Structure 1
């Protein structure tokens, strides 16, 4: 749509509603192949698969979780198709024209952490290949810099630099990259699974792995209870849903380029419930076969490929998983902060500069590697902070506004979304209350039961959304009457 006199402090070319819409169902599908098929995604998928205890339990827990993910992504995705705006601009409707900078910066910080985590994982895949050389193994063990081995630092910087080359030409280059990377990773995943199944001579779902060995290997997955129990299955589904918490917010950064809601729905259907089930199944079968071959529970694919006798196969696997991790970083952890930082200072920062800031923060964080504190703690805490924001935005868009939004007003300082000086106090009250129960109490106190943290994101969505709706009930009635 054509904007009428947008305020310079709220608008630049990258933040404006999308005019070129070339992302069909295949590109939307590959958003999800790029987002899920990473080293961290494989680790979590394999862990959750094995903790289900049986194939039927896997279909129930991961299938239910994947359907919830599909519904959530469709909600925010449809808003993106209809309005054509990125996440921080859509957030102005509920948080205010300038208040939206707060959730945008929260999302950007999350992305910067994940950017570093995924870059480190991709660098680790290359390190696992290189240390097959005795000389490089000695170098890896004896030379250290910034709290890491010098070889790890070199590989991290190489991967970090390669990602910048992908995004220099904007979102269309992102689409072309993921359309190539997504299928390539699937091909490598199937090859890895087939190779190990043939070598092991078995096709099973983890029942032969001793339970004590399994629980020790999957401790970071954050799933309590015996594998296959109701408590474990509920935690598996919840952890799987929470893993995508950050993208629930900014999937509209991609869906705004979709050709239609039909294309979005088709891409999401194949990319989420179908693709997620298949990916988890392949990861679980591969890990089980690797246990039969190597006698270890290897939840990280680079650890499996490092054991290959063939240098060529090890090289192919390492490069493929590095590319996969570049894909998720570009999709999930570059695009979002690029728009988020641009939203804060639209006159000074465009899409590219915002992305460079995010990459720079990830580089500065590397010596401390905060993402190495444990996968479950990291995923659950970061994910739970996103819950209240998502709940508030979806309640505002679907329950308060019934899917009707004045897009032009999103770019007006003195328009409908000015609220109180550009900040919507009721949204921030709801956000604060939601975060107390989703993140703060379960993380820093023992007031709540131990299991609460696993479901923190859900409490955040429900409590934040409910408080916001209660505070806005009068406005909702007036909008319905209009």
Structure 2
């Protein structure tokens, strides 16, 4: 219920924020954004790559969310749930950030929102709930997946794993990362880890959609002594090959890694004898 209430309110808050920014900075937005000449070159694709690099962590960990769904949830409803939970808020946040930075030169949407809203009690309530909703969102996106990993690798309890993840998150000093002077380093960080997440994404897509045609034997998949025991080195080699290409084209690392990793994985799985047991 916490997630549902928080996500619903943050969407309403973003709609209100969107309206407030347009109402206060409409002329500046028209002059600086609507009438500006743009480009579809490398800077554009580099910017979208950073966006995808951040969201690829959720793409790869989607099983950590879907395992909580009740059995029998139909594909149509599942697609709607995922689309409504991600797309509206993501688009509003992106548009508000673009409008705010373009109109005022300030990159922090909350700072501009504070100056764009005249109703102080409403502003305080909205900002508090946005902060609250961000906490619930980050618990789902950034705490649940590593918690499951610690439980699986070190056989820890859920409560213990969650506390460790929280302490480790604190040790990364996230308040330093969001400072304006940290933006270049943060961009480099996203580009670097995207060079490894892109190939993993490509391997998973090729494996599931092309090689297995969306059919998995779950019992064999989780059988510690079954046919999938050990390491599939085709996936490791393909991921590393994609990462090498990605690091060579760091500004678009996520995109650059997809084809090399996917093609390498497909060829190895089809022709390399050590991979034969993984093909069954």
Change beyond 3 A, Cα 1:384–1:323: farther
Task: Please give the TM-score of this superposition, normalised by the length of structure 2.
Answer: 0.80
Would you say the 8 A contact 1:380–1:454 is kept in 2? yes
- Specify which of 135, 138, 157 is matched with residue 326 of structure 1: 135
Give yes or no for the alignment of 1:363 onto 2:170: yes
Correspondence list, 1:150-299, <5 A? 176-200=1-25, 202=26, 205-208=29-32, 228-231=38-41, 232-258=43-69, 259-272=73-86, 276-285=90-99, 291=103, 296-299=104-107
Would you say the 8 A contact 2:242–2:261 is kept in 1? yes
Give yes or no for the alignment of 1:301 onto 2:126: no
Would you say the 8 A contact 2:11–2:88 is kept in 1? no
The structural deviation recorded for 1:465 is: 2.1
Would you say the 8 A contact 2:243–2:257 is kept in 1? yes
How many residue pairs get matched?
A: 268
The structural deviation recorded for 1:472 is: 0.7
In 2, Cα distance between equivalents of 1:275 and 1:195: 16
- Specify which of 332, 351, 364 is matched with residue 158 of structure 2: 351
Would you say the 8 A contact 1:287–1:297 is kept in 2? yes
**Runs of 5+ in structure 1 lacking a partner?**
1-175, 212-225, 443-447
Name the SS of the counterpart of 1:229 in structure 2: coil
Would you say the 8 A contact 2:220–2:227 is kept in 1? yes
- CA RMSD of superposed structures (Å): 3.3
* Higher normalized helix content (fraction of residues): 2
Would you say the 8 A contact 2:199–2:261 is kept in 1? yes
Flag the structure with more relative contact order, 1 or 2, with Cα contacts below 8 A and sequence separation at least 6: 1
**Runs of 5+ in structure 2 lacking a partner?**
none
Correspondence list, 1:336-415, <5 A? 336-345=145-154, 348-366=155-173, 369=176, 373-374=182-183, 375-415=186-226
Change beyond 3 A, Cα 1:187–1:371: closer
Name the SS of the counterpart of 2:191 in structure 1: helix
Change beyond 3 A, Cα 1:339–1:206: farther
Change beyond 3 A, Cα 1:371–1:353: farther
In 1, Cα distance between equivalents of 2:270 and 2:21: 57
Task: Please give the TM-score of this superposition, normalised by the length of structure 1.
Answer: 0.49
